[in-house]
Structure 1
Amino acid sequence: MAVSFCGRIASTQRNLLKIPKRHGYIVLLPEIGEESSEKNPLLKDDNLPEFNTITIEKCIAAIGKQTVEFEEKMKSLENVETKRDLDIFKDWLDPIEDTYLPLETTWGIAKTLYFGNQSLMPTKCYMGIHERATRAVASKYGSAPLFKACKEALDNKNIKLTHLQRRVLIKYVLEGTLNGLQLQDKEFDKYTGDLSYILSKNKEYKAKYESSTGAYSMTVHNKDVVRDFPEDFLRSIATDPKRPFLGPWKITLKPYILKPFMEHCPDRELRAAIWDADVTRCSIYQERSVQASVTLEELRGRRIEQAQRLGYKHYAEMSMETKMAGNLENLHNTLETLRNTALPVQEQEIASLTEFANERGFNDRLRVWDVAYWSRKQRRSMYNYDENEWRSYFPLPTVLSGLFEHIETLFNVKIVESKKADIWHKDVRFFDVFDLNGSSATPIANFYLDPYARGTEKYRKEQDSGWMSTIKSKSKVGDSTPLIALIFNFPPPVGDKPSLLSFKDVQVLFQKFGHALQHLLTTVEYSDIAGLSFVEWDAVFICDFFMENWLYEPFVLRSISEHYETKQPLPVETMEGIRKMRSHFAGYKLCKELYLSHMDLELHSSETFWVPMMKRLWPQYFALPLEKRDVHVCSFEAIWSGNWAAAYFSKVWSEMIAADLYTAFQEIEIDDKLRQKEMGARFRDTFLSLGGSYPAAEVFRKFRGRDPSPQALLDNLGLTSRAMKEAKKMQLGDR
């Protein structure tokens, strides 16, 4: 992914950065036996992971050996800094990459097991491996001698560098700069003090957030409350998952429970209670031990100081160094353009929803905790949306077959299942990716697919979650081809009945395959800038949203669907419902993301206390008033303990860019297969191929021939046409 200054790594030595322990786990390294003398003891002779025999102990032993080797390699290379006629790639960067790749593979294997089989890789064990690897890799970008050498090589006009080499050096210099390596001794010590302090506050906040989240639960005994709940959701909240309809049912604040509960619960008082528990997490309404208002103020204050030491006005300005948006003025103007269209539509959406609810016996004004419930009912009424009925038309084998066919048509690559790889569970499948542009019978990349939910065995966060775990990156130095794992929580097959996907599941599948293709189809041969490496944070989800856009095309829907029993095609009215449903409550949803994005940027560019800031910004984005007990800033976990400080806008930006890219395909007639193929080839040659070897704005211009516009996103979501209709109504009313 992009270079990262969020959560920069603290240092006690100028030449080797040390990262403080963030979870308090002590990793005891077992003795590394003779079997670990190979470059990577977790790989078979064919260079694929030996998942059949991998254990926690083997992972810990391998990561221990490889991290020590990597750190020793960095130290030994730093000792040759005075060597004359130093070749920055041959003498430094190539050996670093060659030593790093086995470590990356072990780290990726551990992460895959963490997401895919927690009985094989529990959270505590994975976090130990993750932090040990993170600490070792920090030395790549925390080495002052390497930073100096890269900077000198970049500035030296006598050194002949390829474009890719220059881009690698730019990455090292930018990372080093954001790690404070250009600062003088005392200033450097202060800067690393900032980083250490920020990490400690991240950890402090995370502990408070997890405690506050874990402390709350509600038990539901009344069957009437859960009568409309989907079966797979009932199974996830039932005290006995084998008897999901009997109850009782336990409701918590975990995202994959909270969101569907708010959508399906008919009891308004219960919705209000859960909503209140959600938005008061870590606030003054909670016990003192989990209150986080002071912690987050200390955190944002020190982040701003940290940026100022590097010469930036504030942290939000520093954030722009690693963003496609480029600068805050451009970003704010773009977000404001989106808001100006989305807000009037949201006002109409709330009025329409109020009318809909009133017609069905609701006799109060809508409150925030009513929106998810009534909008789901309205969506079902307007588009004849029956989730269970729609599921019957999306059996996973059919969806995958249609997806693979679409990828082949667009990008001229073929995905073929193979039985040669070890797997960590019988449900896991393995695939080769072949380039149809070439004549080689050797796959250019591979991936694992682990599709089904397995209770607590698999990691889960959101209601509709999928994960991509990188195991190998493309590298000429390490003779390495891309290898990833895609892990989902789709309903498992039952008997002869295949896994039936909800439309949300299908969306997640397409998104994650878009993400995966950028890693699998890269042609860049330096792992530091291949695939998703060194792609700006706000560009890293572009291919996700680009692939999802195809789901609203009737010809794609036809190719990925058929009734699992009757084999009948998806009804035309259902396809039309899917297309129209995309715009349902789009104004409200977009405004919510824009509000959180604006709040995040202002928190990291202003010293104003967050409470008045929240009260000022809320009415600019929402038609419903801010509730008195709503203190959601305290539980804005993504920016306080996650990596998204001053970067929360990234998904909206990626979605906007993806919509603009997709319009290039919409401008071509559907039956013009030749031009569609040509456009697909151009997309592959730019966004899927170039990785971080060019800035994302330049890659966009290579594809589109101009700078991006927010208009395509507004059109895609149906907001432009609805805003125009609303404006005409108002004009007629004025007359």
Structure 2
Amino acid sequence: MYTVIRRNRLITSLKNCQCISNRNAGYIVLVPEIGEDTHSADAVMKPDGLPAFSDITIENCLGAIGQQAGLVEKTVKSLENDIEQKNISVSNLRSIFEELDRVAGPLDTTWGIAKALYLGNSTLIPTKSYMNIHERARIARASKYNSKILYDALSQQSDNVQGEESRLLQRFLLEGKLNGLTHTQDKRDTLRDILVQLGKERASFKNKVNMAVHTFGHGIKDFNLVRDFPVTLLEAISKDPASPTQGPWKITLQPQIVEGFLKYCPDRMQRWNVWQANVRKASGQQERSLENSTHLEGIRSLRKRQANLLGYPTYAAMSMQTKMVKSVDNLKQIFANLLKFAGPAQSTEIEQLQNFAIDSGFQNKLDVYDVAYWQRKHLIANHQLNEENLREYFPLPNVFSGLFKLSEDLFNIRIVERKNVEVWQPAVKYYDVFDNSGGVAPVGGFYIDCYSKENKFGKNNGWMVSIRNRNTSAELTPLCALIFNFTKPSQGTPYLLSFDDLHMVFKTFGSALQHLLTKAPYTDLAGLSNIEWDASQVAGNVMCNFLDNPATLKQLSQHYTSKEALSDNELQKIPLIKTSLAGFNLCQELYFADLDIELHQSDAFWLDVVKKLWPVYHCMPLDKKDAHPCSMTEIFSGDWAAAQFSHLYSKVIAADISSEFAGKSDAEVATTGQRFKETFLALGGSVPTAEVFRRFRGRDPSVEALLKSLNILNKTQTTGDI
């Protein structure tokens, strides 16, 4: 898994269901009794502009947030007073935006430091303390977008505003509209009540899923059932991780354990048992006290009321206001274009896998919980491709060296480690980034923490934590932290990356490059800020796509003992990891994306929506007791309601971009990399992504490149335009 953490992602009302001005909502924010005139903020930063990690405590971090949040809110209030008394000209947008940026910079930095510490070492910033910091900073950061006075004044500005100020003005107006500032106080109060109820329902949904996950436990004592499990999976399920092959082992519903179990367990009945527990969790099919069907319907109803109050027919239609695709109709057409080829490819793939399974002695019709197991067996038997064996060629230090070299060659930059920098734990490293195209000072910097203190998130993750954005008014350069929760290896042996890990590292670093190489002057437009949700993962996916190139993989690979690179024979097989069952996997992505949209625009009961959509995207039947929407936390308790498709659409855009690099000489690739740097990496959210794409490709996006990269077009005889 991969995550980008940003402070000011577009449209706070869509991201956080309680983002209402603290002056109106009556929030009680838990911050320490530290006055705003104290110098707590001074203890957080060093004179060289980097965090003073050796001196940071929970107390001075909380104190700095209180001080800086108060200053932000005072500045907004001061602007409101000046506007009402006509002391300033609202037409001077640059002056207003720069003043807001100056006070936002220090707050953003302290908030980012707290996030890095929370993810990197939660003993430094425990969860409760971090949530206090997060809430105080979030409310202060949103205050400018919840100001009725500021919104009314800005909405009267001329359409002749140009450049970054025009883009920032558009953001203020859209944020204000979605926060209800175009309505009367009574309607805003109603909106507040809806969002408070929604917050409670979302919290209940998440809590019940968590409880359902921890309630299930399936014990195994027979080593034959786990004999093919990779060591990393055995360590996760063993009673004694130090002796992973000894047993007993406990299977839980943690996502990475379910995924691994279905892939490696040879006993079909055991696979079914774990799979059915997973798809029925938090539903009426299991423990009644943990059922989420009621909360799911409550969340859908409240979101529809929210959208209707704001003038939109459905929540899905409201969500499109912050997306590159712009409308549900456009999105549905993209789904149809992909399904036209992915559907037939899926049927062909499953038929071939069924034949292989029968030839291997399997006597049943393949079901959903059989696919991952037989796919793995097929890759080993027919292609001698064992993903676990590939790990030995990707030791973590070598991967980072290769990734840095690739980025330097593509974007004409230098990445230089700086020693003797204060960090939150000894293994953390810091790097300056220099732009060779001009200037001697670094344009930004980043930390890398590969081994978080505890893997409390259940699987390997990567976070790009924005510590601070580029902010010319506050004279701040971008700074971020790349945090991974790999298990620290034993002495003398490097951590070996799986192919999924490899993609996650590249994707995380791609987002870091977009954060670090931005040239947008305002913090709310720089890096990944203000980028449409369905384009937010484009840079990360573009970097991932370089792993499709055998030459890139060869440069990255080095066996951790022999130091040999992957052979040409092995390199030719690796694309099968991506293209094997690509039609099946794409149909799965399309199903979840469309299900999310339909659940946020249809009035039908959730199960009826599932029954309608399932056969459209699947060639296998729906289990009668499958209740997977009841545990879809990303949609119903997370930030991705009516936005799940964004993950897929970012891949569509990235594949189209990556096709521009294909088949070119090293010099031509460097030239193309420079164009990508000057568009997608430099412009950030200062230009709509559709326009940025046109500047890079000279046309609008197409789904063809994604289909080609997945080798789907060669698996079907379907004809017609893409």
TM-score tier after normalising by the smaller chain length: over 0.9
Match 2:14 to one of 1, 6, 26: 6
Given the superposition, is the C-alpha separation of residues 530 and 188 from structure 1 closer, same or farther in structure 2, using an over 3 Å criterion?
same
Contact residue 205 and residue 296 of structure 1 kept, 8 A? yes
Given the superposition, is the C-alpha separation of residues 2 and 28 from structure 1 closer, same or farther in structure 2, using an over 3 Å criterion?
closer
Measured against aligned partners, the alpha-carbon deviations of 1:558-581 in whole angstroms (never above 9, x if no partner) come to 211122222222111111111233
Number of matched pairs: 710
Match 1:470 to one of 457, 462, 466: 466
Contact residue 116 and residue 459 of structure 1 kept, 8 A? no
Secondary structure, aligned partner of 1:475? coil
Measured against aligned partners, the alpha-carbon deviations of 1:105-155 in whole angstroms (never above 9, x if no partner) come to 121111112211122223233222222222222212111111112222354
Match 1:699 to one of 692, 716, 720: 692
Q: CA separation in 2, counterparts of 1:310 and 1:332?
A: 23
Q: CA separation in 2, counterparts of 1:120 and 1:303?
A: 37
Q: CA separation in 2, counterparts of 1:150 and 1:420?
A: 47
Given the superposition, is the C-alpha separation of residues 176 and 9 from structure 1 closer, same or farther in structure 2, using an over 3 Å criterion?
farther
Match of 2:488 in 1: 492
Question: Within the alignment, does 1:406 sit opposite 2:406 as a pair?
Answer: yes
One-letter amino acid matched to 2:510: G
One-letter amino acid matched to 1:678: T
One-letter amino acid matched to 2:564: Q
Match 2:516 to one of 516, 520, 532: 520
Q: CA separation in 1, counterparts of 2:87 and 2:79?
A: 14
Contact residue 348 and residue 716 of structure 2 kept, 8 A? no
Q: CA deviation at 1:39?
A: 4.4
Match 1:556 to one of 534, 552, 556: 552
Q: CA deviation at 1:453?
A: 5.6
Q: CA deviation at 1:521?
A: 0.5
Match of 1:86 in 2: 89
Given the superposition, is the C-alpha separation of residues 255 and 100 from structure 1 closer, same or farther in structure 2, using an over 3 Å criterion?
same
Secondary structure, aligned partner of 1:111? helix
Match of 1:124 in 2: 128
Given the superposition, is the C-alpha separation of residues 437 and 720 from structure 1 closer, same or farther in structure 2, using an over 3 Å criterion?
same
Given the superposition, is the C-alpha separation of residues 77 and 453 from structure 1 closer, same or farther in structure 2, using an over 3 Å criterion?
closer
Match of 2:537 in 1: 541
One-letter amino acid matched to 2:157: A
Q: CA separation in 2, counterparts of 1:238 and 1:415?
A: 40
Q: CA separation in 2, counterparts of 1:220 and 1:469?
A: 39
Structural mapping, 1:182-197, within 5 Å:
182-197=182-197
Question: Within the alignment, does 1:139 sit opposite 2:143 as a pair?
Answer: yes
Q: CA separation in 2, counterparts of 1:32 and 1:237?
A: 48
Given the superposition, is the C-alpha separation of residues 297 and 687 from structure 1 closer, same or farther in structure 2, using an over 3 Å criterion?
same
Question: Within the alignment, does 1:460 sit opposite 2:439 as a pair?
Answer: no
Q: CA separation in 2, counterparts of 1:466 and 1:245?
A: 28
Match 2:639 to one of 636, 643, 653: 643
Q: CA separation in 2, counterparts of 1:81 and 1:428?
A: 47
Q: CA deviation at 1:17?
A: 5.1
Q: CA deviation at 1:623?
A: 0.8
Q: CA separation in 2, counterparts of 1:72 and 1:225?
A: 63
Q: CA separation in 1, counterparts of 2:540 and 2:53?
A: 28
Q: TM-score, normalised by structure 2?
A: 0.94
Match of 2:3 in 1: none
Q: CA deviation at 1:540?
A: 0.3
One-letter amino acid matched to 1:320: M
Measured against aligned partners, the alpha-carbon deviations of 1:64-103 in whole angstroms (never above 9, x if no partner) come to 3322332233223322222244255465332322222212
Secondary structure, aligned partner of 1:518? helix
Match of 1:684 in 2: 677
Q: CA deviation at 1:727?
A: 8.1
Measured against aligned partners, the alpha-carbon deviations of 1:232-264 in whole angstroms (never above 9, x if no partner) come to 222222222222222222222122222112211
Contact residue 17 and residue 198 of structure 2 kept, 8 A? no
Q: CA separation in 1, counterparts of 2:487 and 2:286?
A: 36
Match of 1:48 in 2: 50
Q: CA separation in 2, counterparts of 1:303 and 1:714?
A: 34
Secondary structure, aligned partner of 1:421? coil
Question: Within the alignment, does 1:234 sit opposite 2:238 as a pair?
Answer: no
Q: CA deviation at 1:478?
A: 0.8
Q: CA separation in 2, counterparts of 1:96 and 1:286?
A: 51
Structural mapping, 1:592-671, within 5 Å:
592-666=588-662, 668-669=663-664
One-letter amino acid matched to 1:723: T
Measured against aligned partners, the alpha-carbon deviations of 1:27-84 in whole angstroms (never above 9, x if no partner) come to 35154699x5164431112111111232323322222332233223322332222224
Q: CA deviation at 1:382?
A: 3.4
Match of 1:450 in 2: 449
Given the superposition, is the C-alpha separation of residues 432 and 236 from structure 1 closer, same or farther in structure 2, using an over 3 Å criterion?
same
Match of 1:216 in 2: 216
- Identity among equivalent positions (%) equals 41
Contact residue 31 and residue 132 of structure 2 kept, 8 A? no
Question: Within the alignment, does 1:441 sit opposite 2:440 as a pair?
Answer: yes
One-letter amino acid matched to 1:648: Q
One-letter amino acid matched to 1:56: I
Contact residue 107 and residue 129 of structure 1 kept, 8 A? yes
One-letter amino acid matched to 1:178: L
Q: CA deviation at 1:432?
A: 0.6
Q: CA separation in 1, counterparts of 2:440 and 2:472?
A: 19
One-letter amino acid matched to 1:450: D
Contact residue 34 and residue 66 of structure 2 kept, 8 A? no
Q: CA deviation at 1:301?
A: 1.5
Given the superposition, is the C-alpha separation of residues 236 and 711 from structure 1 closer, same or farther in structure 2, using an over 3 Å criterion?
same
One-letter amino acid matched to 2:695: K
Contact residue 10 and residue 193 of structure 1 kept, 8 A? no
Measured against aligned partners, the alpha-carbon deviations of 1:480-536 in whole angstroms (never above 9, x if no partner) come to 011111011335343332222222211111111111111010000100110000000
Measured against aligned partners, the alpha-carbon deviations of 1:255-297 in whole angstroms (never above 9, x if no partner) come to 2222112211222222212212211122112333321112111
Q: CA separation in 1, counterparts of 2:69 and 2:712?
A: 51
Match of 2:6 in 1: none
Given the superposition, is the C-alpha separation of residues 99 and 116 from structure 1 closer, same or farther in structure 2, using an over 3 Å criterion?
same
Q: CA deviation at 1:4?
A: 4.0
Secondary structure, aligned partner of 1:369? helix
Contact residue 20 and residue 146 of structure 2 kept, 8 A? no
Q: CA deviation at 1:545?
A: 1.0
Q: CA deviation at 1:473?
A: 0.5
Match 2:157 to one of 150, 153, 162: 153
Given the superposition, is the C-alpha separation of residues 710 and 430 from structure 1 closer, same or farther in structure 2, using an over 3 Å criterion?
same
Q: CA separation in 2, counterparts of 1:415 and 1:379?
A: 38
Measured against aligned partners, the alpha-carbon deviations of 1:658-691 in whole angstroms (never above 9, x if no partner) come to 001111111x43xx23322211111000000100
Q: CA separation in 2, counterparts of 1:12 and 1:2?
A: 15
One-letter amino acid matched to 2:457: R
Secondary structure, aligned partner of 1:380? helix
Given the superposition, is the C-alpha separation of residues 282 and 20 from structure 1 closer, same or farther in structure 2, using an over 3 Å criterion?
farther
Q: CA separation in 2, counterparts of 1:459 and 1:51?
A: 22
Contact residue 82 and residue 88 of structure 2 kept, 8 A? no
Q: Give the root-mean-square deviation of aligned CA atoms.
A: 2.2
Given the superposition, is the C-alpha separation of residues 68 and 487 from structure 1 closer, same or farther in structure 2, using an over 3 Å criterion?
same
Question: Within the alignment, does 1:114 sit opposite 2:118 as a pair?
Answer: yes
Measured against aligned partners, the alpha-carbon deviations of 1:593-616 in whole angstroms (never above 9, x if no partner) come to 100111111111111111111111
Contact residue 252 and residue 258 of structure 1 kept, 8 A? yes
Contact residue 393 and residue 570 of structure 1 kept, 8 A? yes
Match of 1:733 in 2: none
Given the superposition, is the C-alpha separation of residues 700 and 28 from structure 1 closer, same or farther in structure 2, using an over 3 Å criterion?
closer
Secondary structure, aligned partner of 1:500? coil
Unaligned runs of 5+ residues in structure 2 are 1-8
Measured against aligned partners, the alpha-carbon deviations of 1:419-465 in whole angstroms (never above 9, x if no partner) come to 14211112111101000101x321101000111364xx24424x442
Structural mapping, 1:262-411, within 5 Å:
262-411=262-411
Q: CA separation in 2, counterparts of 1:485 and 1:12?
A: 29
Contact residue 657 and residue 697 of structure 2 kept, 8 A? yes
Q: CA separation in 2, counterparts of 1:12 and 1:393?
A: 50
Secondary structure, aligned partner of 2:485? strand
Q: CA deviation at 1:8?
A: 5.0
Secondary structure, aligned partner of 1:214? helix
